[in-house]
Structure 1
Amino acid sequence: MRKSVFKHLATACRRLARDNRGNTMAIVAGAIIPLTAVIGGGLDIARAHLAQSRLSQACDAAALAGRRAMSNEDIETAKPEATKFFNFNFPQGYMGTAAFTPTITHPDVGTVKVVAATTVPTTIMKIFSRASIPINVDCDATQNFDNIDIVLVLDVTGSMDNSISGEKKIVSLRKAVMALYDELAAAQAQLTSQGLRLRYAIVPYSTNVNVGKLVYAANPSYFQTSPSYQTRWPKSGGGYNYGSKSWDVTSYLAGTSVNVKNYIGGSNNNATWNGCIEERQTVSTITPTSSTAYPDIPTGAIDLNIDKVPDGNANTKWVPSFPKVIYDPDGSYLGDNHYCPVEAKRLNTMSRTDMQNYVNGLTPTGNTYHDIGMIWGARFISRGGIFAADNPSTFNDRPVNRYVIFMTDGILEPDSAGYYSYGVEKLDRRIVGGTYNTNVTDGNGSNLEKRHTARWLMACNAAKQGGASIWSIGFGSSVPSALADCASNDDQVAVSTNSTELIAKFKEIGKNIGALRLSK
């Protein structure tokens, strides 16, 4: 009996050994734990990778925003903007990450550095004693400067002596220019250390620009020596003739004080050239509709041909302003109605003291002629024309980036009876054409202000076509409607209604000059 039981048990074991049914269940049961670890770990790692990618994006955005916001190399001015951009792109608690604060530092000139680290909690892997996965990021943003040339075309007309919020506008302008200088001071020092340069030119304008002596120093032959003026001269039998007459101005151009009695008669009255000019030949066919159409500059408008170098033709040359000989045919002396700003400054490096001394000398005077200011701003920044030798496309094997900052506090205010950069308009008729008796303001269906606006925008366009980037800044409540047409794009036009806004805008321009880049 006992033997039979053992025999049956042995038989059953042999059958079981030969039967593989149900083995899969046993294998799965044995593998379920490592499979869970592999699959769960993959999911947790994927979440950590997604969080790491988002963290990197937030870091880049924060560094760039912080560098753009940083003022005068003060990292504290960068932190609020950098933090805001970081938190927007990587909100606290994103994907369950542990709370952290990014570190924002200033390791080098022109550089903002952002460092951040946190952990992503696991779901499955915590079963295996891995509660979180660490992630971290480290990024820099720096201002990548090449050589920089900046031309400031500044309205210094009589209205700049008026006040906004208790401060004269000319004082606000001085502060704004210095804010721009200070914003770029660190970049200027960095460029200098690399053998590169940042240069400024300044063109104060009103009814005229004071550029004549700069042009004469470049080449005396750029001036006519026997130009015609609206003047008077003695009659042989007494009295005077009135009209257009040529005078020899060789000594006057050279800086000699001349006795105008030799020209116009009367009592002795010495005159010395103040440096202002009459522009070159132009045409009166530029109409008000030109302000938006930007047509090609007419061949005869040599004044708007920014890169035209004077040749043997007198029409290609400038004429020195000679206010003490200017008379109306009715006998009225017009020379008192002439305004000449302080002398412009060509592109050159400037210390802070140089800049401060210069802007302190800006004095409000005269009416507003945007066209003459921009014409010379375009000439100063151009790589062609009479200053081409000083405006290379590269310096020490690095490119030169060029900018024009145009600032005005008012609309055009031409005066047909004033003596300005195109003579006396009611007599010379260089802008509107026609004859002396024709109405200047609305003669031939045209408007003098709109004609000058068209010329101003042509000069803006010439500067842009030459590769310069233009900012147009209005200051006050009465600014030209065409201000935006002069700017290179919509982001580079603004109107400031008080000193604080003007200073902030000039600082913002300083922050935007140069190309931001990430450096890992």
Structure 2
Amino acid sequence: MLAALLRKITRNPARNAPASFLARLRRDRRGNTLAMMAAAMVPMIGFAGSAVDMSRLYVVKVRLQQACDAGVLASRKAMTDTSISTPLETAASTQGQTFFSNNFRTGWFANQTPTFTQAKASVNTDPTVANGVSGTATVNVPMAMMGFFGVQTKQIRVTCQAVFDMADTDVMFVLDTTGSMSCVPSAALNCANGISSYTRSDGTTGYYNVESSGSKLEALRQAVILFDSTIRSSSDPNTKYRYGFVTYSSAVNVGRLIPRQYLQSNVTYQTRRIIGDYNYGGTYYQEFSNDYNSCPRGQTVRRPVTGYARSSQWFGDDGYYQARNYSVYWNNGKCAATAQPLRPLWRYGPANWDTTVFLNSISSGSPAADDPTRLDGSTSRWTGCVEELDTTTGSSFSVTSLPDDLNPDSKPTTATNLWRPMWADATWQRDGTAEQDVKDDAIGGDSSWGSPSYNYSYRSGGYMSGNGFISCGMPAQKLKVMTAQNVRDYVYDADFKALGGTYHDVGMIWGARMISQDGIFAADTARWPGRKDPQRTIVFMTDGNMAPNRPIYGLWGVEQNANRTGGATDDGTNYDNHVARFRVVCDAAKRKGVTIYVVALGTAITPDLTYCASPGQTYQASSTQQLTDAFRNIAQRIAMLRIAS
């Protein structure tokens, strides 16, 4: 056995040699896991380190993108120069840089040297127009773990872009053109310059308050034009937008826009009519002829047979309209008579007049209508203002159950409840709501103020029309696509003038009606084929508080006589009723998805104006510059500043 062991040793001499460290380590299994773990740490550090640093890079990049977006949004909002050929103005660039820095702090996650650059951009619009701001942001981020593998710093770069862009949009301007708009913005609220007459574009006589240099009306013109230019610079070629205009005071000029089927052909006015004759003065003797056979002996003959005349073969011209009753008899070979002069007895109150010819007279070339309240052959033409549909008196209304005159969606079908043409020449004042009988010789002139009130109609040339008690302003404009020149032409039209008292409800009723997608103008407000519904907006501008005046002839007739709104005898009640109407129509418009912006020029934002506006959409301006700024800001909001996708 010993011999065999010796032979084995001899055949394997290496077994007797000292073993190396690695050999011993390979054969020795004690503590092997420690070595294996140590070897595995290198790739594990790589995996874990990359996960940690990639997470850090992701968080930093997200924050950098947010800061970049905030910067260009702020910059674009502050940018006023939209020419692509000029650099981004300093104010806008500074605003953008400030927002970027506030949203991305140096040193956060150990970041280093963040940068943010901005430039104007033209996005899907006229290449010469800058409607956007583009930005680029970079930052260096040191690696927390990957430095072990030689990756010390990683740079992150993001881009961003903000543009003014807009959906299809309808904008209805509801503009106060009352008498105080003729004054400068710093003038007192009750300011109104002197009134003068002019020839309207339709050939009739109109009146207006003479504008001061730098008037509120001129500020309004500039603001509307700037609004339009802001919208144009913010929209791309595919954007559709339409404008409409309602100028208001105590009435609105919408007659040319209302389809004829909705206009009433027999209307009850606060007017006067002849109800008979009365004897005027004493009788006298008159001879006619010596023809016995042609003498109507024993009869009383009226001349003229019907109506009245200033002069005829029967009697001389005494300067007024008269008739005569002749009690005829034969006297000493002559046909003679005892003559009794007659004059008309007028009844002041509601009366119905056929308006067919009067409605047609608005068209050029159509004949004027005879004035049924005068004997001198006077005629008149309709200038386009209307009286409202039937209504409910009082100061409490439900937006879900509105009377016809307050409903933006009204489509009247009853022949006795359609819109009525305002007939100023045929409308007369009287004391109170009761009818009043007046002898013709008791009626004086109406060129200057005096009493009694029945002297006064609202005709051109009279005291009432010459002092703003009736105002029929610039014809309204339905929603339509308008060029920049169209907009300028509208606000600088010869009829775009100031006159009359402030009735906010009048303007808002017709502004809401003309933008409603369900009323008589639905065809004008419909979406474009193949496109979504437009966003609908009312821009309501006024320079004063509600100021109804009961003797004014306006949308509800002469309120002190007709009492259609319930405030005929009390100014406070009249005011409350009109405020209630204004508020509920604002509710009705907003309920239909219309956004209402309210701008007050030279006056405070009252609780009623705040109530009317959509939340946060009121602006107060005390100067032309502030008014134009307000209109620009509204246009920018409508244009929807956004991040470009």
Q: TM-score, normalised by structure 2?
A: 0.70
Deviation at 1:173, TM superposition (A): 1.0
In structure 1, C-alpha distance between the alignment counterparts of 2:225 and 2:24, rounded to whole Å:
100
Are residue 305 (structure 1) and residue 407 (structure 2) matched?
yes
Task: Identify which of 255, 277, 293 aligns with 1:236.
Answer: 277
1:417 aligned counterpart, secondary structure: coil
Aligned residue for 2:492?
360
Aligned residues: 490
Name the CA shift for 1:34/1:17 in 2 (closer, same or farther; >3 Å).
closer
Name the CA shift for 1:254/1:15 in 2 (closer, same or farther; >3 Å).
closer
Aligned residue for 2:628?
503
Task: Identify which of 59, 73, 77 aligns with 1:50.
Answer: 59
Aligned residue for 2:389?
280
In structure 1, C-alpha distance between the alignment counterparts of 2:376 and 2:621, rounded to whole Å:
49
In structure 1, C-alpha distance between the alignment counterparts of 2:356 and 2:81, rounded to whole Å:
49
Query: Residue type of the partner of 1:460?
Result: C
In structure 1, C-alpha distance between the alignment counterparts of 2:637 and 2:95, rounded to whole Å:
15
Aligned residue for 2:603?
477
Name the CA shift for 1:200/1:18 in 2 (closer, same or farther; >3 Å).
closer
2:180 aligned counterpart, secondary structure: helix
In structure 1, C-alpha distance between the alignment counterparts of 2:79 and 2:644, rounded to whole Å:
17
Deviation at 1:142, TM superposition (A): 4.0
Aligned residue for 1:486?
612
Name the CA shift for 1:386/1:295 in 2 (closer, same or farther; >3 Å).
closer
Name the CA shift for 1:133/1:483 in 2 (closer, same or farther; >3 Å).
same
1:376 aligned counterpart, secondary structure: helix
Aligned residue for 2:229?
182
Name the CA shift for 1:407/1:134 in 2 (closer, same or farther; >3 Å).
same
1:372 aligned counterpart, secondary structure: helix
In structure 1, C-alpha distance between the alignment counterparts of 2:394 and 2:215, rounded to whole Å:
39
Deviation at 1:464, TM superposition (A): 1.7
Deviation at 1:458, TM superposition (A): 1.6
Query: Residue type of the partner of 2:357?
Result: S
Is the contact made by 2:165 and 2:640 (CA closer than 8 Å) also made in structure 1?
yes
Aligned residue for 2:544?
410
What is the root-mean-square deviation of aligned Cα atoms in Å? 2.9
Name the CA shift for 1:16/1:89 in 2 (closer, same or farther; >3 Å).
closer
Aligned residue for 2:326?
none
Aligned residue for 1:199?
242
In structure 1, C-alpha distance between the alignment counterparts of 2:407 and 2:18, rounded to whole Å:
115
In structure 2, C-alpha distance between the alignment counterparts of 1:32 and 1:505, rounded to whole Å:
66
- Counterparts of residues 49-128 of structure 1 (less than 5 Å): 49-71=58-80, 73-74=82-83, 76=88, 79-95=93-109, 96-108=111-123, 109=125, 110-128=131-149
Deviation at 1:56, TM superposition (A): 1.7
Larger helix percent = 1
In structure 1, C-alpha distance between the alignment counterparts of 2:25 and 2:152, rounded to whole Å:
44
Deviation at 1:265, TM superposition (A): 2.4
2:454 aligned counterpart, secondary structure: coil
Of all paired residues, the percent bearing the same amino acid is: 32
In structure 2, C-alpha distance between the alignment counterparts of 1:94 and 1:155, rounded to whole Å:
54
In structure 2, C-alpha distance between the alignment counterparts of 1:201 and 1:353, rounded to whole Å:
14
In structure 1, C-alpha distance between the alignment counterparts of 2:93 and 2:25, rounded to whole Å:
75
Are residue 332 (structure 1) and residue 455 (structure 2) matched?
yes
Which string of whole-angstrom CA distances, capped at 9 and with x for unpartnered residues, describes residues 78-116 of structure 1?
544433332221134443222422334414234433222
Is the contact made by 1:461 and 1:486 (CA closer than 8 Å) also made in structure 2?
yes
Which string of whole-angstrom CA distances, capped at 9 and with x for unpartnered residues, describes residues 182-208 of structure 1?
1011345x3xx43x5211000000011
Is the contact made by 2:167 and 2:534 (CA closer than 8 Å) also made in structure 1?
yes
Is the contact made by 2:409 and 2:519 (CA closer than 8 Å) also made in structure 1?
yes
Query: Residue type of the partner of 2:100?
Result: F
Is the contact made by 1:276 and 1:321 (CA closer than 8 Å) also made in structure 2?
yes
In structure 1, C-alpha distance between the alignment counterparts of 2:605 and 2:401, rounded to whole Å:
25
- Counterparts of residues 102-181 of structure 1 (less than 5 Å): 102-108=117-123, 109=125, 110-165=131-186, 167-181=214-228
Is the contact made by 1:425 and 1:440 (CA closer than 8 Å) also made in structure 2?
no
Name the CA shift for 1:313/1:28 in 2 (closer, same or farther; >3 Å).
same
Task: Identify which of 485, 509, 529 aligns with 1:375.
Answer: 509
Deviation at 1:22, TM superposition (A): 5.5
Name the CA shift for 1:425/1:320 in 2 (closer, same or farther; >3 Å).
same
Aligned residue for 1:251?
357
Which string of whole-angstrom CA distances, capped at 9 and with x for unpartnered residues, describes residues 388-426 of structure 1?
122214434343221111111111110101111111111
Query: Residue type of the partner of 1:221?
Result: Q
Is the contact made by 1:407 and 1:474 (CA closer than 8 Å) also made in structure 2?
yes
Are residue 321 (structure 1) and residue 446 (structure 2) matched?
no
In structure 2, C-alpha distance between the alignment counterparts of 1:512 and 1:160, rounded to whole Å:
26
In structure 2, C-alpha distance between the alignment counterparts of 1:28 and 1:401, rounded to whole Å:
67
Name the CA shift for 1:11/1:280 in 2 (closer, same or farther; >3 Å).
closer
Deviation at 1:48, TM superposition (A): 1.9
Query: Residue type of the partner of 2:355?
Result: V
Is the contact made by 2:165 and 2:234 (CA closer than 8 Å) also made in structure 1?
no
Deviation at 1:20, TM superposition (A): 4.6
1:512 aligned counterpart, secondary structure: helix
Is the contact made by 2:163 and 2:234 (CA closer than 8 Å) also made in structure 1?
no
2:116 aligned counterpart, secondary structure: coil
In structure 2, C-alpha distance between the alignment counterparts of 1:12 and 1:270, rounded to whole Å:
132
2:65 aligned counterpart, secondary structure: helix
In structure 2, C-alpha distance between the alignment counterparts of 1:92 and 1:9, rounded to whole Å:
66
Name the CA shift for 1:20/1:157 in 2 (closer, same or farther; >3 Å).
same
* Larger displacement relative to structure 2 (84-93 or 73-82): 73-82
Q: TM-score, normalised by structure 1?
A: 0.85
Is the contact made by 1:162 and 1:168 (CA closer than 8 Å) also made in structure 2?
yes
In structure 2, C-alpha distance between the alignment counterparts of 1:149 and 1:236, rounded to whole Å:
58
1:390 aligned counterpart, secondary structure: helix
1:385 aligned counterpart, secondary structure: coil
1:488 aligned counterpart, secondary structure: coil
Deviation at 1:319, TM superposition (A): 1.1
1:383 aligned counterpart, secondary structure: coil
Name the CA shift for 1:456/1:122 in 2 (closer, same or farther; >3 Å).
same
Name the CA shift for 1:12/1:463 in 2 (closer, same or farther; >3 Å).
closer
Which string of whole-angstrom CA distances, capped at 9 and with x for unpartnered residues, describes residues 136-174 of structure 1?
112334445332111000111111112125832111111
Name the CA shift for 1:173/1:8 in 2 (closer, same or farther; >3 Å).
same
Is the contact made by 1:147 and 1:395 (CA closer than 8 Å) also made in structure 2?
no
In structure 1, C-alpha distance between the alignment counterparts of 2:139 and 2:604, rounded to whole Å:
53
Which structure 1 segments of 5+ residues have no match? 1-6
In structure 1, C-alpha distance between the alignment counterparts of 2:159 and 2:415, rounded to whole Å:
64
Question: 4+ residue stretches of structure 1 with deviation over 6 A?
Answer: 11-17
In structure 2, C-alpha distance between the alignment counterparts of 1:83 and 1:387, rounded to whole Å:
48
Aligned residue for 1:10?
18
Query: Residue type of the partner of 2:352?
Result: S
Name the CA shift for 1:419/1:512 in 2 (closer, same or farther; >3 Å).
same
2:66 aligned counterpart, secondary structure: helix
Is the contact made by 1:72 and 1:183 (CA closer than 8 Å) also made in structure 2?
no
